[in-house]
Structures are given as C-alpha cells and as structure tokens.
C-alpha cells in the first residue's frame, strides 16, 4: 500500500483485500479481555476534523488507541482556525508536535490531497466534501463480506443523494475494484454530471431493481450541502426513494440493508427496516473500528506483526 489513503481509487484489488483480511485479524482483538495491541506504541495519530462526525472520529480514535498509539483529537471549533490559521499551518503545527499520521475530515474536496503534499507523515481521508470517504467504503465492503461471504459478484444498489455523497463515490470505486455489480438509484437532480462514466449502472426506479439486489445501501440526503430544492418535498422523496416496509419485503431472503449514517428515519429509511434483521447499520459502525485499525496498522506499522500480544 502507498503511504496515504486519499481515495478508494488508490487501492488495487490486492491492497483492498489486504485491508479486509487485516481487519478480520483486528476483529479478533475485540474478543480478547484486553482489547489492545502494542503495534503502534510510540506513534502519534492526529484526528484533524473540520466537519462534524460521530462515527468516523470516534472509531479512528478507538482504532488508534487499540493499537497503543498516542492520539490527538483536533476539532476546528475552539482552535486557532477561528483566528484565520490555514489548513497548511494547522497541519504543520500538529506535525511539529510529532504526528506520524493525520486523519482528516474537511468540507473541501481535495483537502487531504493537498495535506499529503505538505506533511511527511501518512494522511488518511476521513471524508472530504462531496469527493470521497474511502474508509467508509472499506468498512462497507468488510460488512458485506462478513454477512454474505463475498463481495465479488454481489448486486449492490446505492440509493439516494448520490450527487453530494462521498460515500457513494468511494463505494462505486472500491466495489467495482472488488468485482461487485453496482446500480445507482436517484432522482435525476441528485445524480452528478458525468455519472455515465462511473463503473455503475443508473436507474430512476427503485422498485424495478430491489428484487435482484443482494445489498441495498441507502444514502443520507445531505441538506447542508444543498443550496437549492432538489426534490419537491420530504414526503415525495420518501414515496419514490425511501426504503419502507413494503419495499423491503420485495428483497430476497438473504439481502441486506445498509446505511452509512447518520440516517433520517422515516424519509430515507423506515425505522422498522433500519432496526430489522436485514439491517447491518450497527455492524457497520462496529466493523469501522476493525477496518480503521487495519488501515492505521498497514500505513504506519506494516512491517511488524499485527497480532503479537497484549499491550
Ligand atoms: N458515516 C459517517 O461518516 O458518519 P459520521 O459523519 O458520523 O462520521
């Protein structure tokens, strides 16, 4: 693997499988009494978050701590960013304190790529604008493989606000690398220009694709990134693109329902479906820790054995 993880496109099939296999090893640590490995002792991981996060920030923090790294959690709120300090100066300041890896979430698409040019350590993209969220795609693939036994050949339907979704972009890239067959379902207003060049099919009719889907991944409608009305009303969106109980009943017996969170219950997905037996939403969060442990380990500590003993 390269020194950074900036895009799902950076991952070859072999890289992606290495992360997923390493994450399986990391998941074994969960079953131990002492859920900690000495692998990154003496290394420092900075979580540099300029946008809000619940799942990604806390799971990167937990992942780094489980590998015995020192962790600095930086939030733009309450920092010298409010005094006009730039991303570059913020990053160089944190690197001067010994950061070996910077995990960055930023509203600017491309912020992690720039950061990787400025610092000597590893950079992990934890979500940049509407661009990418590669560790979300890895944990989604890990969850599919655990539930369904494989990723290759799966029919994965990704539904909703594709236009603003970094999760959709990273998933389309990674899933196509791993041999899945991806269909995007969205209103025409919520599909990006150039989507026909993505390695995915496009449909406007959710009911037409549900029965043949192995995985249905619902996306969050990103109102904070919408400067205009992209659909008539929440009710109309839910009627055409929401996964309600009736629609979920069209899925085959083994099909699973995913959502990266945070979800808008009742609009994107019915509560009964989100909490039902097909749902992997809680597993996705749990798997995120194992996958992020694998990513940090492979970027920072790859030469030493992942599982050697307790810290
Ligand atoms: N899925 C995801 O990125 O969630 P958070 O915004 O809570 O990190």
Q: Ligand 1 centroid vs 284 CA: distance in angstroms?
A: 11
Which CATH number is 202's domain given? Answer: 3.40.50.1370
- Asked whether the predicted pLDDT for residue 309 surpasses 70, the reply is no
- Asked whether the predicted pLDDT for residue 148 surpasses 60, the reply is yes
- Please give the tally of structural domains in the chain: 2
Q: Could you tell me the pTM of the whole model? A: 0.95
pLDDT value of residue 121: 95
Residue whose pair of structure tokens reads 């992990």 in the numeric block:
124
Say yes or no: 146 and 265 in one domain.
yes
Element at 257 (helix H, strand E): strand 256-258
Helix-, strand-, coil-residue percentages of the chain, each rounded to 5: 40, 15, 40
Q: Which residues contact 181 (CB under 8 A, 6 or more apart)?
A: 153, 154, 155, 156, 201
- Asked whether the predicted pLDDT for residue 163 surpasses 80, the reply is yes
Report yes or no on 311 lying in a domain: no
Q: Which atom of ligand 1 is nearest to the CA of 54?
A: 7
Say yes or no: 275 and 292 in one domain.
no
- Asked whether the predicted pLDDT for residue 135 surpasses 80, the reply is yes
Query: Using 50, 70 and 90 to split pLDDT, how confident is the model at 303?
Result: low
Its domain, for residue 120, covers: 8-132+285-300
Say yes or no: 31 and 127 in one domain.
yes
pLDDT in tens, 95-121: 999 999 999 999 999 999 999 999 999
222 touches ligand 1 (CB under 6 Å): no
Report yes or no on 99 lying in a domain: yes
pLDDT value of residue 78: 82
56 touches ligand 1 (CB under 6 Å): yes
Say yes or no: 20 and 86 in one domain.
yes
pLDDT value of residue 311: 56
Report yes or no on 310 lying in a domain: no
């Amino acid at each position: 693997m390269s020194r950074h993880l900036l895009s799902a496109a950076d991952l070859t099939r072999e890289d992606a499988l290495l992360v997923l296999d390493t994450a399986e090893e990391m998941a074994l640590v969960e079953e131990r009494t002492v859920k900690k490995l000495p692998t990154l002792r003496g290394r420092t991981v900075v979580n540099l978050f300029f946008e809000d996060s619940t799942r990604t920030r806390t799971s990167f923090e937990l992942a780094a701590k489980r590998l015995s790294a020192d962790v600095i959690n930086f939030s733009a709120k309450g920092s010298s960013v409010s005094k006009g300090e730039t991303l570059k100066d913020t990053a160089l300041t944190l690197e001067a304190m010994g950061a070996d890896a910077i995990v960055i979430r930023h509203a600017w698409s491309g912020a992690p790529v720039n950061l990787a040019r400025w610092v000597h350590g590893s950079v992990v993209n934890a979500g940049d604008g509407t661009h990418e969220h590669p560790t979300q795609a890895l944990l989604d693939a890990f969850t599919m493989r655990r539930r369904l036994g494989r990723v290759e050949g799966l029919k994965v339907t990704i539904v909703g606000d594709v236009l603003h979704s970094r999760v959709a972009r990273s998933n389309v890239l990674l899933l196509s690398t791993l041999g899945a067959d991806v269909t995007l379902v969205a209103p025409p207003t919520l599909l990006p220009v150039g989507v026909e060049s993505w390695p995915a099919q496009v449909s406007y009719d959710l009911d037409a694709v549900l029965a043949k889907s192995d995985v249905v991944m619902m996306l969050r409608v990103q109102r904070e990134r919408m400067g205009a009305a992209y659909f008539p009303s929440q009710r109309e969106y839910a009627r055409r693109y929401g996964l309600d109980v009736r629609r979920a009943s069209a899925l085959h017996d083994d099909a699973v329902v995913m959502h990266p969170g945070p979800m808008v219950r009742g609009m994107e997905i019915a509560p009964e479906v989100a909490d039902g037996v097909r749902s992997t939403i809680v597993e996705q969060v749990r798997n995120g820790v194992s996958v992020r442990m694998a990513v940090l380990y492979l970027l920072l500590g790859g030469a030493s054995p992942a599982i050697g003993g307790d810290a």
